[in-house]
Amino acid sequence: MHQTLEMRALNVEENMTSLIMIFGATGDLAKRKLFPSLYRLYNKGKFHKFAVIGVARKSMPNDAFQASVRDSVVSALGNKENIDEFISHFYYQPHDVSDSSSYGSLKTFADQIDEHHKLEGNRIFYLAMAPEFFGPIALHLKSDGLTDVSGYKRLVIEKPFGHDLESAKELNKQIRTAFSEKEVYRIDHYLGKEMVRNIEVIRFANAIFEPLWNNRYISNIQITSSETLGVEERGRYYESSGALRDMLQNHMMQMVALLAMEPPIRLTTDEIRSEKVRVFRALRSVEGDEVNEYFVRGQYGEGEMDENSVPKYRDEPMVDKESNTETYVAGKVMIDNFRWAGVPFYIRTGKRLKVKSTKIVIQFKDIPMNLYYQTEKMLNPNLLVIHIQPEEGITLHLNAKKAGGHLDAQEVRLSFANTGIHAMNTPEGYEKLLYDCMRGDATNFTHWDEVAYSWAFVDKISAEWQKTKADFPNYVSGSKGPDAADKLLEKDGFFWWPVTDLEVDICK
């Protein structure tokens, strides 16, 4: 493979001139993520020419909108360098997403901004709004002429993409009336995280790993994404999604695909996506009574976090007092292909857990014969740990001779950490994804086929769980989750690697 991962491809346009229209510009996502990310790109000189039109329902003077952009950048980054010049590229337009005349006014305004900044008719429509507006906005953009441009047009949408396969199909049908598949950028912010993107490099740029990356040498793979927070103010949304739809259908399944995919022919968008789709096609379908053999659900009860009492999920705002919604999911995913037959991919994700951590643990098989029985200590299995958050890095767990001993073996760790000078330059997920979108690189955005196969897999689990009332709550806030998740692995002869025992070694 004689190309680097940054030499993606000949299919990347590299046109960094664009008018970015953010629908929902007064919302939390725009303030916390989008404005700071655009500022960092601007300060790094990544833009050639650009302008941003903030679109939202409320009326607001232009200078007030620019002031809110300034506040969000300073609050997030504490940096004011070039801030006045940066916010001078921002404009505000009040808008009613259901009114065609409002789109007419927006089109006129956009054409004026485009001409003023010489943006060559390139437009990015970023829908930072509730999912129910995605389809209607896309249809209006087409029917009211905003997609009639001389340059490129791209639609960026957040998850969730539907709430099941049928709703996802309907949404995709609406969007595809206005945009081709190559113009649709479905964001999964996990794909912007530095160490998730690094999975490809670890696998395909290291001769010591790729020959071992199969069922002959790997016993199991564990993916953990644990959160200490509860649902906070997102109770209404979470009641309709739960951990299964909110985390497993997108973030967790995307990591499974990156870990399990075959080496692509080239490092291009189409080839990488094609290999990921092949993984989704090979997923072993789980339905009916099998669901509870392969998957565990949980809901947090009362407990203590940082010495403070926290309520159970059913006492959170806008949550049903008899809620059957899961806040925790653990499962075993099997991939029925030649490379991975027999290797379980264990995944777990939940809220109000003991620590905040996202890690991938690749556990290699034991050596055929343990020569160190005479030491009365079993050898530790070799592990490759990919630390995604909050720390970023890679740790390889090996066995080596204990200093001063006879032939006693002990575990040693070889670590690389994105700390110190590296951490300051690690792009935040949204920054990298926005940059990719402007470049026309859709590799780290999800293709419709990935969405469809993932929903088809998850819907069968959801359908089974909806039939029965779970015995919730079944884990204490601040714990590691329900006991049933441990039993899921115990019956296969494995156990969850505690994330607190696998911290990346920080070398200053």
CA atoms within 13 A on the CB side of 64: 8
CA 399 to mean position of chain CA atoms? 33
Strand, helix or coil for residue 256: helix
447 catalytic residue (yes or no): no
User: Of the candidates 246, 271, 237, which has an alpha carbon nearest to the alpha carbon of residue 188?
Assistant: 246
Distance CA 496, CA 228 (A): 18
User: Of the candidates 261, 249, 207, which has an alpha carbon nearest to the alpha carbon of residue 225?
Assistant: 249
- CA max distance for the chain: 83
Which two tokens mark 378? 């079993």
Which two tokens mark 121? 């008719």
User: Of the candidates 456, 502, 473, 465, which has an alpha carbon nearest to the alpha carbon of residue 351?
Assistant: 473
CB contact at 8 A, 488 and 296:
yes
Strands (E), 204-339: 218-226, 295-298, 300-305, 308-310, 328-334
Distance CA 491, CA 478 (A): 25
- Among 251, 387, 397, 447, the one annotated catalytic: 251
Strand, helix or coil for residue 232: coil
Residue 140: count of CB within 10 angstroms of its CB? 21
User: Of the candidates 435, 412, 418, 334, which has an alpha carbon nearest to the alpha carbon of residue 12?
Assistant: 435
Dihedral pair phi/psi, residue 264, rounded to 5°: -70, 155
Where are the alpha helices (H) located in 361-492, listed in sequence order? 421-424, 429-439, 448-467, 483-490
Cα distances (Å, whole numbers) of residue 254 to 261, 283, 460 = 10, 13, 18
CB contact at 8 A, 223 and 254:
no
My answer on whether omega of the bond before 473 falls inside 30° of 0, hence cis, is: yes
Positions marked catalytic: 251
